Amino acid sequence: MKYLSTRGDRTERGFSDILLEGLAPDGGLYLPTHYPKVDAATLQRWRGLSYAELAFEILSLYIDDIPGADLKRLVDATYTEAVFGTRAITPLKPLERGVCLEALSNGPTLAFKDMAMQLLGNLFEYELGRRGETLNILGATSGDTGSAAEYAMRGKRGLRVFMLSPHGRMSPFQQAQMFSLQDANIHNLAVEGVFDDCQDIVKAVSNDIEFKRRHRIGTVNSINWARLLAQVVYYFAGYFQASASNGERVSFAVPSGNFGNICAGHVARMMGLPIQRLVLATNENDVLDEFFRTGRYRARTSAVETSSPSMDISRASNFERFVFDLLGRDAVRTRELFGECLARDGGFGVSPDELARTADFGFVSGRSTHADRLATIRDTWQRFGLMIDTHTADGLKVAREHLDPGVPMIVLETALPAKFAQTIREALGPDAPPPPLPAALRGIESLPRRFTVVAADAAEVKRFIEAHTA
């Protein structure tokens, strides 16, 4: 399998060439040259596999430059009951008839990002070892991504993580999760500023090409193809659990921000998984819902802060991949829309015909507000005795607006409620018990913390990196 860029660069690249990269050199995103089709016999055979076996089968279709035995070992080491809490890895939780949740949040940081990041940590360590190289991952986080990256990269040979977060602004639980890590290769930098300052510093450091090369700076952001690929697996796993045979169709509802999660659903559908609808749910930051309703994509200048903070985005960094497919893989047009139009006009529109075609790809959308979120959390608790987190609540609210008779709806559970205890309390009142916390995380808030406070200044961050990569 080879990979191309959505903006036209067709230089032949294999999986391991793009594994450690972010954007393609022409500013586009990497996609496989084609989506391998899974026929009925293969689908039938996969139905009986464990999660790790299934992951190996799917990854093997896209990775031909890592020996099979090595890939198998990496995948087996990643998707274990010890790390993800159950043998099924992503079990379903039934709600009312025809609707269920798929639990993607039982990994170390209680959010679905672990599903891909845990594999990425193992792939990175393997590939760097094979090349005899090291990599210093620089990132900015307001919460979920940073902790998922740190728990995936901790203790890995050849890897260091420098993670910037806004000092004192993450939730107490998120701070405890990240700052309690004592691994020597993990560096938490608490920046005296807001999240945008952290992102600006990462950009400034990355734009210093000489520094970036000399210190082997890399990233783990959501545009990484390997992350997206790892996420394709749980669409298949969810389908097999919700259906009895391959003649059946299912729909998925996906709480969305940067379009990474649902883009994996799009890939699964292109491979032939019988998906009826891909229901995209946004919070008040509704750039994507607006696109699927009107055909206009208007990037916002900044995101509004909401109670489903991991979906607070002003533009969706993975969206370009879907638009490329929507436009029949027209790289010239994709470059025009995401290069020129976005820079010049802050957005673009597609034609009515093209908008109509999004439905042929299964897409429908909706949005959810703070009041919707609270009502959905309360209703789910009262009717099913189940606590759900704020992002999953957005997904469930919008899912119910797009039910088809006879087609099971699988709502992706993207985080556990323990991460957002304050909003859960607001929804359920002071008499409800606090959201359950997995045993491994009890008492985490009283562990010793390891972090360094730095000014919102790229030069200071560079000096820190220099001093710790010698």
Ligand X SMILES: *Cc1c(COP(=O)(O)O)cnc(C)c1O
Report the site for ligand X in 249-278 (rule: CB under 6 A).
Answer: 255-261
Joined together, the tokens standing for residue 118 give 């845990």
Joined together, the tokens standing for residue 330 give 């027209």
Report the site for ligand X in 389-408 (rule: CB under 6 A).
Answer: 391
Asked if 113 is an active-site residue, the reply is yes
DSSP H/E element including 81: helix 81-84
Min CB(420)–ligand X separation in Å: 9
Which one of 127, 144, 197, 289 is in contact with ligand X (CB under 6 A)? 144
Which one of 222, 246, 283, 285 is in contact with ligand X (CB under 6 A)? 222
Does 227 contact ligand X by CB under 6 A? Answer: no
> Which residue(s) pair with 188 in the sheet?
163
By beta-carbon proximity to ligand X, the closer residue of 261 and 380 is 261
Site size for ligand X (CB under 6 A): 16
Q: Give just the sign of the alpha carbon dihedral 150, 153, 154, 158.
A: negative
What dihedral do alpha carbons 13, 17, 21, 27 form, nearest 10°?
Answer: -10
Strands (E), 159-301: 159-166, 186-192, 217-218, 250-255, 275-282, 296-298
Q: How far is CA 4 from the centre of its chain?
A: 21
Min CB(261)–ligand X separation in Å: 4
Per-residue x/- marks for ligand X, 447-466, CB under 6 A? --------------------
Does 311 contact ligand X by CB under 6 A? Answer: yes
Nearest partner of 306 among 373, 259, 398, 253, judged by Cα: 373
Rounded to whole angstroms, the Cα distance separating 78 from 65 reads 19
By beta-carbon proximity to ligand X, the closer residue of 158 and 265 is 265
Min CB(262)–ligand X separation in Å: 6
Q: Please tell me which residue in 113, 156, 397, 419 is annotated as part of the active site.
A: 113
Q: Give just the sign of the alpha carbon dihedral 41, 268, 150, 171.
A: negative
Min CB(324)–ligand X separation in Å: 17
Nearest partner of 456 among 229, 198, 252, judged by Cα: 198
By beta-carbon proximity to ligand X, the closer residue of 46 and 112 is 112
Show the 3-state SS of 124-178: HHHHHHHHCCCEEEEEECCCHHHHHHHHHHCCCCCEEEEEEEECCCCCHHHHHHH
Min CB(443)–ligand X separation in Å: 23
Rounded to whole angstroms, the Cα distance separating 140 from 159 reads 17
Which one of 310, 358, 376, 380 is in contact with ligand X (CB under 6 A)? 310
Which one of 120, 217, 287, 415 is in contact with ligand X (CB under 6 A)? 415
By beta-carbon proximity to ligand X, the closer residue of 49 and 437 is 437
Per-residue x/- marks for ligand X, 87-126, CB under 6 A? ------------------------x-x-------------
Nearest partner of 414 among 446, 391, 394, judged by Cα: 391
Nearest partner of 285 among 309, 301, 260, 303, judged by Cα: 303
Min CB(180)–ligand X separation in Å: 20
Report the site for ligand X in 168-207 (rule: CB under 6 A).
Answer: none
By beta-carbon proximity to ligand X, the closer residue of 56 and 291 is 291
DSSP H/E element including 454: strand 452-455
Min CB(465)–ligand X separation in Å: 26
By beta-carbon proximity to ligand X, the closer residue of 350 and 415 is 415
Report the site for ligand X in 326-355 (rule: CB under 6 A).
Answer: none
By beta-carbon proximity to ligand X, the closer residue of 233 and 454 is 233
Q: Which residue is nearest to ligand X (CB)?
A: 260
Could you tell me the maximum CA-CA distance found in the chain, to the nearest angstrom? 61
Catalytic residues: 113
Residue numbers at the binding site for ligand X (CB under 6 A): 111, 113, 144, 222, 255-261, 310-311, 391, 414-415
